Structure formats: structure tokens, C-alpha cells
């Protein structure tokens, strides 16, 4: 085991500092792409459907490769998987400013790059799950995850506004070059880590069961637990509404609020979503002392359709931004509360498979929501699309009220 196993002060360890730097740079680059990509597609096509498809494209690959990637990443050299994923993502992103400079950039090219980035993330994510414990040891995992989560949260708050200024200054196509550079820097940092990315050497890994059997075992545990099954369904619906809301933010800002795609203010909507998420994450740890786990999720899901109805009907930018922040806070509470419940109820030897499976189910809602509202906005308008989103959130709340969440799974906390 690496020497970090002897203490939780992870930043004393050079390997973790490099890993942290790589992840922080990559998250910052992704925050720029999160604003620049939909602006680029919408500017080129003026199509709500293609704009939402570019958002869905970053998530769809997880549904295709997630289960297999998780099983494979534990059997091969994780460093190779991570570095290859980052290299391919950098090349794909760099192709956009290159095509723009040559005058051959199309909306479908940008959508294809979104799908490519999403595919690279699946394999990176699968390998990173096992890499962090190998770098910091058991005692350092909590500190390491806390540091990574805090950095990512701060970036999510600050960088949408920065990305809005960057997009307005040099254009969305060239702004995406910043994310390509971020992947290069992250890859260099990862390559500089001098220790193994696995506790057990690859040559000694001799799994007794096949990948298919491992996958089935995780699926079976998730399905046979009424609470985990309910949380998975709620996760899907929550992700569906999130995917729908974020996929049309550019269209909503332009057509509903009158914010130009060339204005730095375009990043304000993503900032509002990020700030709401931070508030939700900060508030959540205080809630279990007063309410059962199920009641917390039910409460958040009950508030969500109300604030989304405000988003769908208002034309006031300040009201819209505040409502988006409130919705994001509710969505974050739902997500983190579900993750915590799942971790507490799942045996240690099934944690990886059950949580990966649950993430796949949840993420499956995002592209569905993005594509549905993209089609609705294209047929009618973005206000009608967000009314549909509010209705979906209401269905999710009703599902929670009528399901297994009404029973506290931890009566002896």
C-alpha cells in the first residue's frame, strides 16, 4: 500500500497533489465546454433539438459503455486507460477550433465531439474510481474525496461566468480550445504520478468470475432492494428534469429572457445552477437530524415542480435565475441524499457495481430529458418545453410520495 495509507493528510502526498491538479484542471476545462458547446451549436444551427442533442451526447455513452467500462477498468492498467481517454478528448476538442479556422465547422461536427468527450469520460471515470484509493489508501479516501468535491464545486460556481466572458471575447469555437489544453495539462499531470494506479499489480489480477457475472450480481442486489430500486427510479426522473433544464439554457436565455448569446451574461444561468447546487450540498448534512432520509428526498422533489413552473412562465431574468438556483438546490439534495442512502445500505463488496449501475440508471434520464424538450421547443417554444419539465418533476414527486421512501431505512440513527 502507498505511504499515504498511514495518514489522512492527502496533500502531503505528491501523487495525490498531481491527481488533484489533473482533476481540477479538467473540471475547469469541462466547465468552459459546458457553456461554449451549446452556444456554438445554437449559433450555427438555431436548432433547439441539436442544441439539446449536444448536451445529451455527453451522457449517452455512459449508458452504452458504463457497465463494461467499470468491470474492465479493474482488470487492466488504469494509467493507460486514463491517459488514452484524456488524449482522445483533447484531440477531439482541438478539431473544433481547427475546423472553425478552416471554415468547415458544422453543428453535427460539434455534436459528434460532444459524444466523443462523453465516451472518453466513461472510461476515465471507470479507471479513476479505483485509482484514488490506490493513491491515498483507505484512511485518505474521505479527505481526498472532500478536497476533490470542494474544488469541483467552487469551479462550478466561478467558471460559468468566466466561460461566458471567454465565449463573448473569442467565440465559442475557440473557447473550446481551452478545454483541449486543459486535457493536455491534466494528462501530463497524471503521467507524472510515479506510483501504481492499482493496489494489486495488473499481472496478478486473476478474477474468478466473468465480467457478465459481476454485472449481474450488482444488478440483482439493486433490483431486490425496494428502497434502492425506488431511489434508482427517482434518480432517473431527477436526471431527466436536470438534463432537460440544462440542455435548453442557451435557448431559454435567448428566446425567453432576451440575453444575447454573445453577451457575457449568458454564463449567469449556469452560475445560478451551480450556486443552487452548492447551497443544497451545504444544507443537506444538517437535515437528517430533523427528518428521515426519505422525507428529505420527498421534500426536495415536492419543491422542484413549483420552482420549475416559475421558470417556465416568467420572463423576468432575476426571477428566472433565482428559480433556477432553487431548483438546482433541490436536485442536488435529491442526488446526494440518494448516494448516501445507497452507500449505507450496500455491502462493501458490492459498492462499486451497485453505485455504477445506479449512476447509469440516473444518467439515463438526462439524454431522454434533453432530447424530449429539444423536440418540444422546436415544435412549440421553450416555455412549453419547460412546462413539460415541470410536469415531469411533478410525476417524480408523486412517485416519491407513493413509494418506499416514506419508510425511514435508519430508524436507529
Contact yes or no for 200/54 (Cβ under 8 A): no
Helix, strand, coil abundance in the chain, percent, nearest 5: 85, 0, 15
Q: Round to whole Å and give the CA distance between 345 and 141.
A: 19
Is 0.75 surpassed by the pTM of this model?
no
Decide if 144 contacts 129 (C-beta within 8 A).
no
The answer to whether residues 81 and 215 belong to one domain is: no
| Same-domain pairing of 190 and 331 | no
Q: Which helix (H) or strand (E) holds 177?
A: helix 172-191
Whole-angstrom Cα distance, residue 252 to residue 48? 10
Do residues 196 and 327 share a domain?
Answer: no
Asked whether residue 178 falls in the same domain as residue 246, the answer is: no
Q: How far apart are CA 154 and CA 318, in angstroms?
A: 22
Residue with cell 462493501: 348
Which 3 state secondary structure label does DSSP give 280? helix
**What length is written for the chain?**
413
**pLDDT of the chain, 413 residues: tens digit per residue:** 444 343 447 677 788 889 999 989 988 888 888 888 988 998 898 888 888 788 777 777 877 887 777 777 767 788 888 999 999 999 999 999 999 999 999 999 999 999 999 899 888 887 876 677 778 775 666 567 667 767 777 787 777 778 888 888 899 999 999 999 999 999 999 999 888 776 665 544 555 556 677 677 777 887 887 777 888 888 888 888 888 888 888 888 888 888 877 777 777 787 788 788 778 877 777 777 777 777 888 888 899 999 999 988 888 888 988 998 999 888 888 887 777 677 567 664 565 566 667 777 777 777 788 778 888 888 888 888 889 889 988 988 888 888 767 665 544 44
What's residue 2's pLDDT? 45
Task: Please give the pLDDT value at position 201.
Answer: 56
- pLDDT value of position 186: 93
- 217 and 361 assigned to the same domain: yes
Look at the chain and report how many structural domains it folds into. 2
Are residues 38 and 118 located together in one domain of the fold? yes
Last residue of a domain, one of 181, 207, 233: 207
- Residue at which a domain ends, from 189, 207, 225: 207
Question: Distance between CA 41 and CA 46 in Å, rounded?
Answer: 8
Residue 400 CA to residue 413 CA, distance in Å, equals 22
CA dihedral sign of residues 318, 321, 326, 327 = positive
Find the radius of gyration of the CA atoms of the chain.
Answer: 21
Q: Is the dihedral of CA 314, 315, 321, 322 positive or negative?
A: negative
220 and 109 fall within a common domain:
no
- Asked whether 10 and 142 are in contact (CB, 8 A), the reply is no
Domain that holds residue 79: 1-207
Longest dimension (CA), the chain: 65
Task: Please state, in angstroms and rounded to a whole number, the distance separating the CA atoms of residues 271 and 273.
Answer: 5
Q: State the alpha helices, DSSP H only, in 225-316.
A: 226-247, 249-255, 268-283, 293-313
What phi and psi values does residue 408 have, to the nearest 5 degrees?
-70, 120
Contact assessment for residue 70 and residue 352, using Cβ atoms and an 8 Å cutoff:
yes
Which residues does 394 contact at the CB level (< 8 Å), separation at least 6? 305
Residues 280 and 413 in one domain: yes
CATH of the domain at 276: 1.20.1250.20
My answer on whether 273 and 311 are in the same domain is yes
Q: Are residues 24 and 52 in the same domain?
A: yes
Residue 259 sits in the same domain as residue 332: yes
Answer whether 66's CB lies under 8 Å from 359's CB.
Answer: yes
Phi/psi region, residue 137 (left: phi>0; alpha: psi -120 to 50; beta: rest), is: left
- pLDDT at position 173: 93
Domain boundary among 173, 207, 241: 207
Q: What local confidence, expressed as pLDDT, does residue 146 receive?
A: 62
Grid coordinates of 123: 472510461
Q: Which of 230, 259, 279 is nearest to 382 (CA)?
A: 259
Cα–Cα nearest to 121, from 72, 192, 69: 69
* Residue partners of 335: CB distance under 8 A and separation at least 6: 235, 238, 362
**Dihedral-angle region of residue 176 (phi above 0 means left; psi in -120 to 50 means alpha; beta otherwise):** alpha
Is residue 320 located within the same domain as residue 298?
Answer: yes
Amino acid at each position: 500500500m502507498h505511504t499515504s495509507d498511514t495518514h489522512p493528510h492527502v496533500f502531503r502526498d505528491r501523487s495525490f497533489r498531481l491527481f488533484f491538479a489533473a482533476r481540477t484542471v479538467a473540471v475547469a476545462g469541462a466547465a468552459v465546454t459546458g457553456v461554449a458547446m451549446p452556444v456554438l451549436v445554437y449559433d450555427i444551427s438555431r436548432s433547439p433539438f441539436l442544441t439539446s442533442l449536444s448536451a445529451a451526447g455527453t451522457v449517452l455513452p455512459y449508458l452504452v459503455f458504463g457497465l463494461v467500462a467499470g468491470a474492465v477498468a479493474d482488470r487492466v492498467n488504469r494509467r493507460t486507460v486514463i491517459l488514452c481517454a484524456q488524449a482522445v478528448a483533447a484531440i477531439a476538442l482541438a478539431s473544433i477550433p481547427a475546423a472553425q479556422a478552416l471554415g468547415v465547422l458544422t453543428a453535427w461536427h460539434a455534436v459528434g465531439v460532444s459524444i466523443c468527450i462523453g465516451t472518453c469520460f466513461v472510461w476515465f471515470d471507470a479507471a479513476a474510481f479505483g485509482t484514488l484509493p490506490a493513491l491515498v489508501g483507505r484512511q485518505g479516501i474521505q479527505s481526498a474525496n472532500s478536497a476533490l468535491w470542494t474544488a469541483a464545486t467552487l469551479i462550478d460556481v466561478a467558471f460559468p461566468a468566466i466561460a461566458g466572458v471567454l465565449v463573448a471575447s473569442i467565440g465559442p469555437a475557440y473557447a473550446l480550445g481551452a478545454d483541449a489544453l486543459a486535457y493536455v495539462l491534466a494528462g501530463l499531470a497524471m503521467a507524472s504520478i510515479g506510483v501504481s494506479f492499482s493496489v494489486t499489480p495488473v499481472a496478478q489480477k486473476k478474477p474468478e468470475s466473468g465480467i457478465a457475472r459481476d454485472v449481474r450480481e450488482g444488478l440483482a442486489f439493486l433490483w431486490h432492494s425496494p428502497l434502492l430500486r425506488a431511489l434508482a427510479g427517482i434518480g432517473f426522473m431527477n436526471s431527466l428534469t436536470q438534463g432537460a433544464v440544462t440542455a435548453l439554457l442557451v435557448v431559454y436565455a435567448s428566446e425567453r429572457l432576451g440575453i444575447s448569446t454573445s453577451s457575457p451574461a449568458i454564463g449567469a444561468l449556469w452560475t445560478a445552477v451551480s450556486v443552487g447546487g452548492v447551497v443544497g450540498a451545504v444544507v443537506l448534512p444538517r437535515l437528517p437530524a430533523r427528518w428521515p432520509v426519505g422525507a428529505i428526498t420527498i421534500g426536495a422533489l415536492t419543491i422542484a415542480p413549483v420552482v420549475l413552473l416559475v421558470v417556465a412562465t416568467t420572463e423576468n431574468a432575476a426571477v428566472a435565475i433565482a428559480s433556477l438556483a432553487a431548483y438546482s438546490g433541490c436536485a442536488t439534495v435529491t442526488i446526494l441524499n440518494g448516494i448516501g442512502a445507497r452507500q449505507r445500505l450496500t455491502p462493501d463488496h458490492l459498492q462499486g457495481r451497485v453505485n455504477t449501475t445506479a449512476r447509469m440508471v440516473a444518467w439515463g434520464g438526462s439524454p431522454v430529458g434533453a432530447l424530449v424538450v429539444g423536440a418540444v421547443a422546436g415544435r412549440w417554444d421553450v416555455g412549453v418545453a419547460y412546462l413539460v419539465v415541470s410536469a415531469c418533476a411533478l410525476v417524480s414527486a408523486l412517485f416519491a410520495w407513493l413509494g418506499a421512501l416514506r419508510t425511514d431505512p435508519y430508524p436507529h440513527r
